[in-house]
Structures are given as C-alpha cells and as structure tokens.
Amino acid sequence: MKVAIMGFGVVGSGVAEVIAQNADHIRAHSLVDLSLSHILDIRDFPGSAFAPYMTKDVNDILSDDETKIVVETMGGVEPAFTFVSACLQKGKHVVTSNKELVAKKGDVLLALARANNVNFLFEAAVGGGIPIIRPLTICLAANRIREIAGILNGTTNFILSKMITDNMDFQTALRLAQEKGYAEKDPTADVEGIDACRKICILASLATGSHIYPDGILTEGITKLTKDDVAYAEAFGCVIKLIARAKTLENGRWCVTVSPALVPKTHMLAGVNDVFNACFVRGDMVGDVLLYGQGAGKLATASAVVADAIDCAQHSDKRRIYGWGEAKDGVLADPMEAPVRLFVRAKTSGKAADTAKLLSALSGCEVADSADGDLVFITPEAKEKDLRDALAPFDAASVIRLF
C-alpha cells in the first residue's frame, strides 16, 4: 500500500521515519504493507535519506493511482485544504495531523470523504500520539458524551509546570520553553489558547455531530497569570492548568471554552505535568475516562498518523464511520450562562471596610489568607454572568474559573 506525504516538516519527516523503521513490525502485526511513494515539499532536502521521494508538484501524487493513502502534515489551512480536497476527490484516503485544517474545514472535508467513499482520519490532530479520537468515537460509542475536558497544549502545560514547581514567572518559563524547542519564536497560538481551542472544537464536533468552529469560542490564554495566582491557587489546594472544556448544560446545550482553571490536586488532571497532555471524557454509561501521554513530539505524533494510515489500508474498501456534519443552530450555549465558581484576586486598600464592601457583593465566599492589600477568595457557584456583574465595580487583578 503506497503512502504519500505532503509536508516534510517535524511530523512529516517523523512519519517517513516510523514507516521506514517499523514497516516489518506493521506487516507482521497489522497485516499491512506500507511503503512511501512521494514526499511533497517546496523545500530541498539534498542530504536526506528520503531525497529520492521528494517532489514539488502535488500532481505527482494526484496522478499516481497506486498511491491510495495521502498523509497531510503541512499545517495551516492553505494550500493544505486545496490539496486534501483534490486527494479525496481522486478517491484517496487522507490522514492528517493538521488541527487547524480539521477545526476550520472538517465539515467540508468529511462530506467530501463520504461522497467519495474514502476515509479522512485525524487521530494525530488532538493529543499528538495519545489515543483520543478512536476511544471517544468508537470505544465510547454506546455513551452519550456529557463532558470532555483536557490539557491539550503541551507548551502551556510546560510553562505552567515551571511556574508551579520552580516558582518561575511567565516570561522566564516561556523563554525556557523556547530554548527547549517546546515553544515557537512566535508563541501566540500556544500561549493564547488558540491551539487548544482548535483541539477542543474537534472533540466537541465529534461529541455533538455538529461542526463547532473555533471562531466565537471563549478562548483565554495564560499570559496574564502571575506567580501570585499560582501561590494562592496552592493555598486552595489547587494547581492552575489551561483547560479546554466542552460540557453539556442542563438545557442540553454545549458550553465550549478554553481558559486557565484551578484544578484540585486530587483530580487526575492536576498530576499532568510538563509537556504531557491528558483528556478526560465523561460518558453517561462509562463514567469518567482519562487518556494521558505525550501530546506532541515528532515520533509520538507521527505514530498516530501512521496508525491512521494502517487503519485506512485495513479498511480501504470501507469507510470508518465517524465524523460530523454541518454546524447546527442551538448546539452551543453562551458560556456566561453556565454555572461556575470563580477564584478572584483583588487589590484593596488593606482596610477592613474595603474588604467587607467587596465581599458583601457576593455571599458565601471562601477567603484565603493573603498579603496586605490582596483580597483572595473563591465565589460560591452561580451563573458566570451574575458573578461577573457583581465583581464589575471592583478592580480584580485576576479572575480564574474553577475546574
């Protein structure tokens, strides 16, 4: 079974390596014979062991009838979308690790795959090498999914881990992440929660059956978190994590958010450190399930891509039945309508009267011991909009949701 790769970056070159190194194992265990046909990239790789496969013309792949499976690891929407569409229309199975493509164009590409009776698989787009898409859609197929929540971005989890365990501030931890190659030179997509948002949109689309676009999803990053926030979270027995979450409210609508959250140390997600990712799923029958592992990395992510390619090869005449349809009205809730507890850190004059005034706006708060001039508390559970309204007159330095 011939496989072409579009995009010879970190993941794409990893896919080539995994196929080269483990082809005999895959043949023995999965009864599938994978071999490379073409590698598409605009760059030259003269010294590479894979140089003989290189092409700069996508038509070499499109016109090769022996290439039944195409791996897309280019990243970004274009030209990936155009190339993937063309492959599907040519009756080729497509496997991708490109979360931006799936989050923004999944509905169109899944429809195209259905129309051409081929697979469009994307296990590697969420959680890198961690099995998430199949467990959610196949293993938990008998469940109504009630909630999905995860640490889906390794870069921010590394930064937060350093802030928590090594008392670093955000900028220092970010620089360390960049030195280690965990963060890009422009870290915006990671630290502002954009990457995590794309991933939770993919998972929420699978759970609801309706495409959920990243635009319009409440997305907060970690750039404003301070060492004080981390320390006060600790005082409440919590750690701060960037949590991507999709949960059903009582009215049946889905609340989808990405934001920092205080996670109690007793929760399994609190123990997920460094670049590791984890995704927690709640089904009505199975209860809580957690999937944990390396959420990124060349070979880990590539191994998920190759697993999808193996599945395509095993089911080349039969489409895998999962995915979603067009975006439907009435699926999403306004997150401000959801019940929540908020951690609040406010600067006060230090006078008891000021403190009393702030707390009187909300009854039943849990107040932490704090340094002079800081008032730190956790609100009781209420509709987020009502809590925000009550806090509006005061100058809160930090407002962070509780998980």
Write out the binding residues for a copy of itself, residues 209-268 only, by CB under 8 A.
Answer: 209, 268
Residue 196 C-beta: closest distance to a copy of itself, Å: 20
Q: How far, CA to CA in Å, does 271 sit from each of 151, 235, 275, 286, 370?
A: 11, 17, 12, 22, 26
Task: State yes or no: residue 172 binds a copy of itself (CB under 8 A).
Answer: no
Residue 259 C-beta: closest distance to a copy of itself, Å: 24
Positive or negative: CA dihedral 323, 327, 329, 335: positive
What is d(CA 111, CA 392) in angstroms, rounded to the nearest whole number? Answer: 45
* Number of residues near a copy of itself (by CB under 8 A): 52
| Strands across the sheet containing 2-6 | 54-55, 35-40, 2-6, 67-72, 93-96, 120-121
Q: Identify the residue among 42, 216, 252, 285 touching a copy of itself (CB under 8 A).
A: 285
Task: State yes or no: residue 283 binds a copy of itself (CB under 8 A).
Answer: yes
Nearer to a copy of itself, 185 or 318 (CB): 318
Stretch that binds a copy of itself, among 77-85, 172-180, 283-291, 356-364 (CB under 8 A): 283-291
Return the structure tokens found at 23. 């082809």
Residue 314 C-beta: closest distance to a copy of itself, Å: 5
Stretch that binds a copy of itself, among 22-30, 180-188, 189-197, 222-230 (CB under 8 A): 22-30
Binding mask 305-324 for a copy of itself (x = CB under 8 A): -xx--xx--xx-xx--xx--
Nearer to a copy of itself, 288 or 366 (CB): 288
* Long-range Cβ pairs for the range 271-275 (8 Å, 24+): 272/151, 272/157, 272/241, 273/157, 273/161, 273/165, 274/154, 274/157, 274/158, 274/161, 275/154, 275/155, 275/157, 275/158, 275/182
What is d(CA 342, CA 206) in angstroms, rounded to the nearest whole number? Answer: 29
Is the CB of residue 96 less than 8 Å from the CB of residue 89?
A: no
In eight-state DSSP terms, residue 66 is T
Task: State yes or no: residue 10 binds a copy of itself (CB under 8 A).
Answer: no
Q: How far, CA to CA in Å, does 292 sit from each of 121, 126, 151, 380?
A: 20, 12, 9, 31
Nearer to a copy of itself, 227 or 267 (CB): 267
Stretch that binds a copy of itself, among 142-150, 158-166, 210-218, 341-349 (CB under 8 A): 142-150
Between strands 54-55 and 35-40, the pairing is parallel
Q: Identify the residue among 20, 49, 286, 367 touching a copy of itself (CB under 8 A).
A: 286
Q: Identify the residue among 130, 168, 238, 344 touching a copy of itself (CB under 8 A).
A: 130
Residue 383 C-beta: closest distance to a copy of itself, Å: 28
Residues whose CB is less than 8 angstroms from the CB of residue 383 and which lie 6 or more positions away in sequence, other chains included:
336, 337, 338, 339, 340
Distance from chain centroid for Cα 79: 22
Write out the binding residues for a copy of itself, residues 341-400 only, by CB under 8 A.
Answer: none
Task: State yes or no: residue 27 binds a copy of itself (CB under 8 A).
Answer: no
Stretch that binds a copy of itself, among 18-26, 98-106, 174-182, 351-359 (CB under 8 A): 18-26
**Could you say which of 199, 241, 247, 298 is catalytic?**
199
Q: Identify the residue among 142, 186, 369, 372 touching a copy of itself (CB under 8 A).
A: 142
The tally of CA atoms less than 13 A away on the side-chain side of residue 46 is 0
Give yes or no for a cis peptide into 79 (omega within 30° of 0).
yes
Nearer to a copy of itself, 141 or 371 (CB): 141
What is d(CA 60, CA 39) in angstroms, rounded to the nearest whole number? Answer: 10
298 is catalytic: no
Identify which of 277, 289, 108, 75 has the alpha carbon closest to the alpha carbon of residue 205.
Answer: 108
What is d(CA 201, CA 220) in angstroms, rounded to the nearest whole number? Answer: 15
Task: State yes or no: residue 115 binds a copy of itself (CB under 8 A).
Answer: no
Task: State yes or no: residue 18 binds a copy of itself (CB under 8 A).
Answer: yes
Task: State yes or no: residue 111 binds a copy of itself (CB under 8 A).
Answer: no
Residue 180 C-beta: closest distance to a copy of itself, Å: 16
Residue 186 C-beta: closest distance to a copy of itself, Å: 27
What is d(CA 309, CA 121) in angstroms, rounded to the nearest whole number? Answer: 8
Question: Contact positions toward a copy of itself, by CB under 8 A?
Answer: 18, 22, 25-26, 28-31, 123, 129-131, 134-135, 138-144, 209, 268, 271, 283-294, 297, 299-300, 302-304, 306-307, 310-311, 314-315, 317-318, 321-322
| Active-site residue set | 199
